[in-house]
Structure 1
């Protein structure tokens, strides 16, 4: 049967659901074409949509979802095949936050499907899917990150070297005084470690569709380097951030006060005594009365969440699955704030984003640490503390050096406004600095858009008695999409028949996907339940 079906085209098979092996034939054909650099976006998209409502779809769901994301990536490539040639940094920033970020989403969703497929092996499809991975890596890593990263590195270099920031872009350091201090209502701030912009955009869309709320997303530039201790410090109230070396570790201070996790509550209270800093893992494990008592009487509540960055310490490949988990956890946290704490004004942001590529890095994707240390230890595997002279701290994507040092192949970035004895440097594009150990694929600290574009979701819950809700009730009420039977003849007189339905509304901000169960009635109007569900395409 498999051999016979192979003689037919994908279009001939797309609507046929008699046998499971038809899925293998369809997927084999489509994956082979993708591997041969033939990606028919319309054919893949229409085929996947047809197969979703067919029997035997579930065992092949991950493969179909994966090639659908390949089609999305190819569509993006066609739209931008000439490359990226924007002349101003603020222009690229705007384009990234409005459309370019979607390529990061397609890549993440593809690899989620690919990782799931590894848990349900199919002897006919596994190797083909791995060939598809090679095509995806070419599109994303070599074309998208390479082309966009090169354009971005060129146009932002002067501003970063001179000012340490991109002009005319909101800055992370301004967050507290521009977003919190100016609020006239109680503010809940959720900070999710390493939640990059595209993940936040997905969550904002889900919150808008699933809750009675007004949701918007904007962006701000992460402080350099885009790592946790600097990002978390910049989100706290402060007049000036400084650094000092304590026990050979670079420590970030807000107006002279340490910003390590155990001191953040103190820093918040120094600005506003009715403030509190909490951890997600702590409050989620508490009873309702216990956690409600913690926020009672507080005007500013910071809640720290760490699912994505924590997953990266276990395995690079666990990061994208952690993104999905983080979205689920944060949506639940929003519900807790609204239902238990009575919060209506919630800000969701991050300390930094991240870069992730699946394929192993080549030597040309790395730069040497030449110039970081004294000449006598440059080639040494073990660097003694007393030998360090030039480099204060470095990671895969950044280096903090003593003033006067210019390491090879790195871009200068003005460090903390130039008010320290140190200078900052970063690799161009998505290049990594050579270091011993693993964790080369998931990185942050540099100046790529994926690392530096920090999301800010503004979530306002709309009570039924609020004026905004009353004026725009139809806009904010979330309802499932509806279907109607299009067929004029409602009487079935033989065993061969077809029924045509149409979906009245598209899935949108206040219209969510739904699955309807179809039923038949006999001549007396008695309902005869169908054996099959008909899911609507999203």
Structure 2
């Protein structure tokens, strides 16, 4: 150390404030190597006396300090080693003074404000670490309050691992991250600037891992298997794994839980978990263990794969414990690997719903009138179509392996050969039993009356009305849209249905919803009141003939508009027709018809977004959402029935689902309706559809996605009315802690939480991260994901029991700790709730 630096440090030392009762500073400098004996007289210390101690002036020094000059500040310099207290003539003065040293360890301890000389050996142990200003600054930045050999070790290792907090958990997590990434930067730094033995000692104290030949891979296996044993205590682990089970599992559980659940660490954990699973051949044991013993275990993906395989096997073998299966799926939702297997679980859930519905309604599709079957479809049967669609949405997104292939075959068989066959037969029978050959079903709202019955009342009252017509948005999708609006939007939603025109195709059904006196079918178009109705421009002309303040606009154009442009375009308009085409645009092409279910899903999202935009930008208060027609779709290839009439030359139009002709065909296996009363064509035309869901044999195009026929999926058209109401707000359900006590007395504690309201209209699920923190904000337990999403009417069925595992550390019962209920979807916002607790756990073990 240079003389200038020594002089600076000495001046800083003498400038320190006096302690209580002091009126001067006595600074002792033991330079037993005599390194600065020639420089001592060159020091420039203002108002400071420099006194040199020798073996022969000890008494004189004492006399000088106490009698002759009791007021001056002294630098007392000695070239002798510092004597032991009993041999030190100046011990009383040294106790009242300050010891100065130029060796690195003393300088470090002085800069940290440490006077406890018993820690010198600890700092000497890490001399190589502290021989770097940047590392020392990083160490100092942790602001360690109480220095102990262990806290110094944790601080040193934290700097070397570059962790944000000086905590043992953070050190181990960083080493796991690097191991997963195939790098060892931190471990090399520990070997170079600290000592691996110190790390292993710390790990032994904190987690109970103590081996003669420790290694990081061995440690990670130890942590993961201890976590497994703690979260699935009923599993019979192999004897050779017993050495991997900690005597201090609490700290391990908290560490691994945090590592698994931190978003940035998910991939690192999964790589380590997979590596360890392969090393210990976990799959072999998972296949042997009883599933009930690991139903809540989530440290290995093999558990999810076994559970998925079990559920598929049960469903495919005809087992019907549907409630139990759904409980299993629900229990997995909050566990670590669920996002990686989410699509598989969702596909299984929809298959369960489909099979359970089939069980509930077995032989329930009656031989009834068309009206009764229509009502039955709108109330119940549509759910078959809904679950089938939802199954394939999840199935197509999964597409990772063959887990679900057998289940897909079962779903396809039930839907196509069960439900569709049954519905087709009963529906065809009801249509053929009608005495008239007119299409409209008595007492059923008709699509051709839509404007008159739904739109005209708003025009009469001089109120603005928005009408969104979504091509091929079938009834089950409209039902989902209505439910989503009811849950998510400020307002009220009503759902009804109407019977579409026949054939149920765009060219006829779209014009039917415009104001009109007559509809006429022509070979190349449809005419409204004698005017062609093809495309948006012609539709707008027809609409404006009825009401001048009206407009027709395409949904995509509306979506691209900014707020001011939208207001300018729609200003003063009373009737706004918006045409949306997502489903039919995909389904009508053979190359993309397999994507029609996903297109339906996308259509619902686009419609929700459009409604939100209309409400926010245009203050829309009433919005209708309807469709021109629905559709039929099944995944497996369809063999055409080949029922094309021989008199094909007399056909005016031919489609897989309908024929239009001037004469009534004599072909068997079809149903023919007259257009009399629906169209003004003279003589009336005939529309012929195949029985049930069969297709006519035609050239080109896809056969799986079709419409135009008379099946309920094609002709039951949803009518959704959304009325905006800013006073009606959708809110998440409330979750409250039920337990009255606010004291924790056990390292493993269970608390019960109550979901105050059931999930229903305007009441949304709430997902919470639940955990405990100390008064410094540090987490002291595992974190649990609490998904409050139950719609049970009985309060007792909306109670959740959550397990908390506390770190094995010191808890002061005089301090306040907090239970945190944090909204999972709003992590950056305020806590949902913060509940104070006291912790009084006897017989604790202290780690860091």
Structure 1 and Structure 2 fold alike (TM over 0.5):
yes
> Does structure 1 residue 216 correspond to structure 2 residue 498?
no
1:321 and 1:404 mapped to 2: Cα distance?
39
Kindly state the Cα deviation for residue 127 of structure 1 after the two structures are TM-superposed. Answer: 2.1
Give the distance between the partners of 2:566 and 2:667, measured in 1 at CA.
49
SS of structure 1 residue aligned to 2:661: strand
Task: After superposing the two structures, state which structure 1 stretch, 528-537 or 396-405, moved more.
Answer: 528-537
Q: 1:342 aligns with which of 619, 627, 643?
A: 619
Name the residue aligned to 1:333.
Answer: 610
Partner Cα separation in structure 2 for residue 527 and residue 534 of structure 1: 20
Give TM-score scaled by structure 1 length. Answer: 0.89
Q: Deviations over 1:452-482 (max 9, x none)?
A: 0000001100144xxxxxxxxxxx3321012
Q: Which residue of 2 aligns with 1:399?
A: 659
2:737 counterpart of 1:460:
no
CA contact (8 A) 2:643 2:667 kept: no
SS of the counterpart of 2:375?
helix
The alpha carbon displacement at 1:486 in A equals 3.3
Residues 215, 423 of structure 1: alpha-carbon distance in 2 compared, 3 angstrom cutoff: same
Classify the secondary structure of the residue corresponding to 1:432.
coil
Between structure 1 and structure 2, the one with the greater Rg is 2
Q: What is the correspondence of 1:79-478 to structure 2 with a 5 Å cutoff? A: 79-118=360-399, 121=400, 126-159=401-434, 162-183=437-458, 184=461, 185-245=463-523, 249=524, 251-261=525-535, 262-312=537-587, 313=589, 314-363=591-640, 366-373=641-648, 389-415=649-675, 417=677, 419-420=680-681, 421=683, 422-464=685-727, 476-478=728-730
Query: 1:380 is matched with which residue?
Result: none
Give the 3 Å change call, closer, same or farther, for CA 234–10 of structure 1 in structure 2: farther
CA distance in 1, matches of 2:691, 2:409: 24
1:518 aligns with one of 770, 774, 779: 770
1:531 Cα deviation after fit: 4.9
Q: 1:156 deviation in Å?
A: 2.3
Distance 1:416 1:482 in 2: 58
Count of aligned positions: 499
- Assess, with a 3 A threshold, how the Cα gap between structure 1 residues 336 and 160 changes in structure 2: closer, same or farther: farther
SS at match of 2:751: coil
CA distance in 2, matches of 1:50, 1:259: 54
1:326: Cα distance to partner? 0.8
TM-score (norm 2): 0.57
CA contact (8 A) 2:438 2:676 kept: no
Q: Secondary structure at 1:50's aligned position in 2? A: helix
Q: CA deviation at 1:526?
A: 4.3
Whole-Å separation in 2 of the counterparts to 1:504 and 1:208: 20
Deviations 1:130-164 (CA, angstroms, capped at 9, x unpaired):
11011001111111111112111111234495211
Q: 1-side partners of 2:733 and 2:339: how far apart?
A: 23
Check conservation: 2:653, 2:660, Cα contact below 8 A.
yes
Task: Tell me if the contact between 1:519 and 1:527 (Cα under 8 Å) persists in the aligned partners.
Answer: no
Q: Distance in 1 between matches of 2:593 and 2:611?
A: 28
Gaps (5+ residues) in structure 1?
Answer: 374-388, 465-475
Q: CA deviation at 1:419?
A: 4.1
Question: In 2, Cα distance between the equivalents of 1:351 and 1:75?
Answer: 31
C-alpha root-mean-square deviation of aligned residues, in Å? 1.9
Of structures 1 and 2, the one scoring higher in RCO (CA 8 A, sep 6+) is 1
Q: How has the CA–CA distance of structure 1 residues 82 and 158 changed in structure 2, closer, same or farther, with 3 Å as cutoff?
A: closer
Q: 1: CA distance between counterparts of 2:441 and 2:495?
A: 19
CA shift in 2, pair 1:321/1:38, >3 Å: same
Distance 1:12 1:274, change over 3 A: same
What is residue 831 of structure 2 aligned with on the other side? Answer: none
CA distance in 1, matches of 2:788, 2:704: 37
Label 1:105 to 1:295 Cα distance change in 2 as closer, same or farther (>3 A): same
Larger deviation: 524-533 or 451-460? 524-533
**1:498 alignment partner, one of 739, 742, 750:** 750
* Deviation (angstroms), 1:41: 0.7
Cα drift, residue 430 of structure 1: 0.8
